Structure 1
Amino acid sequence: MSYLEYNAKSTPSGLRKILYLNWPLTLLLASVAGVGFLMLYSVAGGSFSPWAEPQFKRFLLGMGVMLVVALIPIWFWRNISILAYLTSVVLLLAVEFFGTVGMGAQRWIDLGFMRLQPSELMKITLVMLLAAYYDWLPAERSSRPVWVLVPVLMILFPTFLVLRQPDLGTSILLMAAGGGVMFLAGVHWAYFTAVIAAGLGLVAAVFQSRGTDWQLLKNYQYLRIDTFLDPSQDPLGAGYHITQSKIALGSGGWSGRGYMQGTQSRLNFLPEKHTDFIFTTLAEEFGFIGGLTLLSLYVLIIVFCVATALAAKDRFSSLVSLGVALTFFLFFAVNMSMVMGLAPVVGVPLPLVSYGGSAMLVLLAAFGLVQSANIHRPR
């Protein structure tokens, strides 16, 4: 079957596109976002403002974006993947010159009605480009050095730009997601072994460079590592966030203190309670059961993405669905590990729950790609 014949055969017409939507996935996304609305209402002391109401409006906009992306044939997104990636790169370069500074980092572009964070967009456009690349590349060439170098450069260039902002958390996610797509595409495991070995060497170099003229990280990033290793060294300073987070997690017990009854968040002991540390508020109010329920919803979302990838008839649809699932997994895995003290605090939001516009809109657009792959596969 030629590519054009495949496009014609895999494009349903009329209302069938709506019927072919992955409705269980859509309901799961709405359920997770609903948890976010409840928690933002709680941390605001029982008020829809300043967080729950704008978050709800962004979610409705994001669902509209997801629907639009889903209804457009998946081959269209394959064909514009290079343009989408280059647009993200241009926006990252624009941050260097025109970016808005917040919390000591220059990561946003002020559009007037919202602040756009291009690094969030890059997480998805990178997956799109890598999926398109390996869809174009014959499978037997995927492990040849010259064909491995191309995607490596695709990953490293935006990672370097994001690291300059500085945003270590997003840089790590870009490298992990990009490497994951390469692995799923069939690149030989020996390359990843070499990367892991180089990574261990880089970690050693990071510690060796501390306090020297060639110091590899910012001082605040080293402070985060120190806090991760021993938060009790400075419980009222650098270790305050993680110490209060652990107190909130522990005080929730099995079933929690009850909705809007969490002392750590209501009494403002917990910093960033509406963004990076919102999971601890959930765990304090709903306990281990509440946290496990949210984790189960996340896992089900990944299961439906993987099912779409397995049902896909072309490599791009399969890889982009798996890439979105992997990116989504990295989001919540890193955030939950971070707030539980299992990983350094790197500023990664909890997907669809933490307050924020760019992350939610881009993530829902990414799930629109999964929906498009499901709608437009041959039946």
Structure 2
Amino acid sequence: MAVSYLEQNVRRVPQGLKKILYLNWAVILLLTAIACFGFLMLYSVAGGSAEPWMDAQIERFAVGMVAMVVIAMVPIWFWRNMAALGYIVSLLLLVAVELFGSVGMGAQRWIDLGFMRLQPSELMKIGLVMFLAAYYDWLPLRRVSHPVWVALPLAFIAAPTLLTLAQPDLGTALLLVIGGTAIMFFAGVHWAYFATAIAAGVGTVYAVFASRGTPWQLLKDYQYRRIDTFLDPASDPMNTGYHITQAKIALGSGGLTGRGFMQGTQSRLNFLPEKHTDFIFTTLAEEFGFVGAITLLTLYALVIFFCVASALQNRDRFASLVTLGIATTFFLFFAVNMSMVMGLAPVVGVPLPLVSYGGSAMVVLLLAFGVMQSAHVHRPR
């Protein structure tokens, strides 16, 4: 078998430095480039100031990158062994949110730690992926599609999903379901289960609409209003449809090359809501146009490409599954956010990864990429 030039020469390097050389540097550079887009946008929406968002975001990114490299240096078998504990701790934190979590913008999603507000549902997105990857690494292949062994991971997915729905946080709950189901698919669960799930999903959608206005209503009133807004934002452009209407104006006004850095009227004049968090992509599209938007999307796609390539080359089942799971979670983040602000999906409050302002989401995502890097560094050679 041909051995790459890098691996031929890396044998002469001390063991401690080998792991640094084995890091997936393409992914690191791409994540840094994406974060730089975020820094620029946070500087812009603050009116040309590093405060209050850009400086804090840079600090969090630096901490997250250091943590990612530290996690990457730890053998992947350690993270496999810690997967169950991580899931249990994340689940207990979700229960703690229900008992004494802090409330913000009508939702109870955070635990106030004093120096920061932790959102346990962000931890669960990664904890669930790791736990299911460890489960299927332990489970013999012949049992993967057996009903009993399919029911267990469904229960593992359902528990945090129900707790997240109670916050309420429909967007994160959907991400947990899709991310967990993706791991089951990658592990080789028979297609008939997924066909059944799709049929059940169609039935659930029908039940959601049929339950509206009844004593057994399945969603909150504001969540139904979001659906109405998604279906017809022009029906209430000054109230429930305001967010998506202003977002579409910003997206359209950017044109091919945009209005220019810090020249976006929608964000500068405060027409655009949540311009530093959920709707930051519209600010980017207004200032840098189609060219800027497609550049960011290309960077995201390249991260997915290198993660999938790493997973396919990895002969360790847990490492391969956890890498694919993290790539899927990352994809869902930006796909749902972009679809949301373009009016292709209901507004569900999912941040744009590494670009939207936020502490828990950014740090947890970089920790997840640390596990992905650990799988890449310690893959069998």
Whether TM exceeds 0.5 here: the answer is: yes
Are 1:292 and 2:294 matched, yes or no? yes
- 3-state SS of paired residue (1:64): helix
Letter matched to residue 216 of structure 1:
L
* Paired residues for 1:1-379 under 5 Å: 13-379=15-381
Taking the aligned partners of 1:317 and 1:27, their CA distance within structure 2 comes to: 21
- CA shift, 1:13, in A, is 2.9
* Amino acid of the structure 2 residue aligned with 1:212: T
Structure 1 unmatched ranges of 5 or more: 1-11
State the distance in 1 between where 2:373 and 2:225 align: 42
Identity %: 73
Moved over 3 A (4+): none
What per-residue deviation string (whole Å, max 9, x for no partner) do you get for residues 5-64 of structure 1? xxxxxxx93111111111111010000000000000000000000100000000000001
SS at match of 1:150: helix
Alpha-carbon shift at residue 167 of structure 1 (Å): 0.2
Q: Residue type matched to 2:50 in 1?
A: F
Kept after mapping to 1: 8 A contact 2:316/2:380: no
Structure 2 unaligned segments of length 5 or more: list them: 1-13
Structure 2 CA distance for aligned equivalents of residues 80 and 241 of structure 1: 41
SS at 2:366 equivalent: helix
User: Any idea what SS the aligned residue of 1:260 has?
Assistant: coil
Counterpart Cα distance in 1 of 2:212 and 2:312? 46
CA distance, structure 2, for counterparts of residue 215 and residue 313 of structure 1: 47
Q: Secondary structure at the match of 1:14?
A: helix
Alpha-carbon distance, 1:140 to partner: 1.4
Contact 2:110 2:119 in 1 (8 A): yes
RMSD: 0.7
> Hey, what's the Cα distance between the residues in 1 that align with 2:256 and 2:187?
41
Distance in 1, matches of 2:112 and 2:336, equals 27
TM-score by length of 2: 0.96
Give, as a single letter, the amino acid of the residue that structure 2 aligns with 1:354.
S
Query: TM-score, normalised on structure 1?
Result: 0.96
